[in-house]
Amino acid sequence: MKSALIQLIPLASLGSALSISLPPLIPSIPGVTEALGNIVPPLPILQVPTPALDSPPFEASDIKPKKIGYFWTGAGDKQHKDFLATYSLDDDTFGTLLWVTDVPSSGNDPHHLGPSLDGKFLIGGGLLSLLKTQDTAFYFDTSNPYRPKFHKSNRAILSSIADEIRAKPDGGFYITYMGSAVGTSPGRLIETDADFNIIHEWPEDIDGLLNILGEQFSPHGLSIDWERGYILTSDFVEPISILKPSTGIRRANTLRLWDLETKHILNTITIPDGQGIQDVKFIPGNPEGAALATAVHLGQVWIIYPERKDANGKPGVAELLYDLGPKARDTTAIYTDITQDGRFIYLSLTTANHIAALDISDLDNVKRLDDPDEDQPTIGPHYIKVTPDQKHIAVTDYFVQTGQIGLINTPADFKALYIDINDDGSLNFNRSIDFSREFANRGGAKPHSVVVFDFTDPENPLYY
């Protein structure tokens, strides 16, 4: 163990040197690149780093909607460049394509997307970028919100498999990287500066390193309480274990409670037999600073109290809040979002093809607002984002498809849903964008996540 720490500590102290970016190993050659992409065979785990094809021509619109949806999207054929698709979400022009912004590479399996607090930049992570030895984080300049530009990309030294994103008040981001540089445990909590250079891969203290080396650390969910000074990360699966050859997917049962200022791990919180704690989010306005976490195997929602003490006197206690029922068990993914007033939580049950809604205004009397037996017009829902006006949720119908090289291939219809929130918190399904049809000229498209900008009040724009 000592030798491992001796190797890790200097690397974790490299500061800005932790941020690197490398070009594709195989250059783009006109007339050759296209053919090469069609003839190279797939490799076990690592993929041939063929150069990406540019987006086919698209018809842009010059309208200036008040509500804009940015969808971080993978090309269906994995040969064309992955891209950010910008759409109008206004009622009268809903689903009008405004712009397509390519990134330099393909096959990243675009994952989560997040905005800076000032709305001038977005960052999107690549779940499978590692397999083609590509950069894993992609930054977009949204200073002109109707014509986003690709800004830069980079990758970390110690970690990969970018996942959840939270903006820092002073610029930059915190990002969970679910795996090590080769996709094993431990992953890291990444921090960038305001120029989006990776400056830390937490934890960097000896106690923290012993913690993540001693028990599976594959952080997926990420939530920050800026006022109380806490970070919560939730451990989901060890990324390498979902790829063949595999002895089975290794799922975690834990969350980590961090001190925001020092990035010291205060406690490891266990949900017994949770087998994949995919998401965690602090409840806005909760008097105890509580958070909600999803246990995928159990199909349950747990409440985390960061300031209550456990049996060992450490901060952080988990209690069962709500069981979503048999159809929620082993649904591969349960992702969430909570309204800003703390009243409602929405949960995607990916392989159950269902979106659940709970009234959590009284945590002692949680009410279910959806019918678990309802046949909803969604296949493979995953990423959920409550819109800034708190009147809709935007949902993307795609989680993960690793193809022949992996164990997770969830069904999906590759649609972006824009769902109305009724006054009582229940949902009304009525609008969607079909990415398979919209981007058929690149083998379809796989939208994984969405960020919504709202310019209804030009003096007080909202980025969420």
Tell me if 222 sits within 8 A of 174, measured CB to CB: yes
Other Cβ atoms less than 10 A from the Cβ of 275: the count is: 18
**CATH 2.130.10.10 applies to domain 2-22+63-463:** yes
Q: Which two tokens stand for residue 159?
A: 């970690």
Q: How far apart are CA 290 and CA 280, in angstroms?
A: 10
Closest CA relative to residue 69, chosen from 453, 392, 444, 340:
453
Alpha helices in 146-293 (DSSP H): 206-214
Q: Each residue of 78-116: pLDDT tens digit?
A: 999 999 999 999 999 999 999 999 999 999 999 999 999
Domain ranges of the chain: 2-22+63-463
Q: Are strands 300-309 and 291-295 parallel, antiparallel or unpaired?
A: antiparallel
pTM above 0.85, yes or no: yes
Q: Which amino acid is at 86?
A: T
Q: Report which DSSP code applies to 207.
A: H
H/E run at residue 9: helix 2-11
pLDDT tens string, the chain, 464 residues long: the values are 333 333 343 343 444 446 667 655 444 544 434 443 444 344 345 566 778 999 899 999 999 999 999 999 999 999 999 999 999 999 999 999 999 999 999 999 999 999 999 999 999 999 999 888 899 999 999 999 999 999 999 999 999 999 999 999 999 999 999 999 989 999 999 999 999 999 999 999 999 999 999 999 999 999 999 999 999 999 999 999 998 888 999 999 999 999 999 999 999 999 999 999 999 999 999 999 999 999 999 999 999 999 999 999 999 999 999 999 999 999 999 999 999 999 999 999 999 999 999 999 999 999 999 999 999 999 999 999 999 999 999 999 999 999 888 999 999 999 999 999 999 999 999 999 999 999 999 999 999 999 999 999 999 999 99
Summary count for the chain: helices (H), strands (E): 4, 29
Q: Which two tokens stand for residue 107?
A: 């096959």
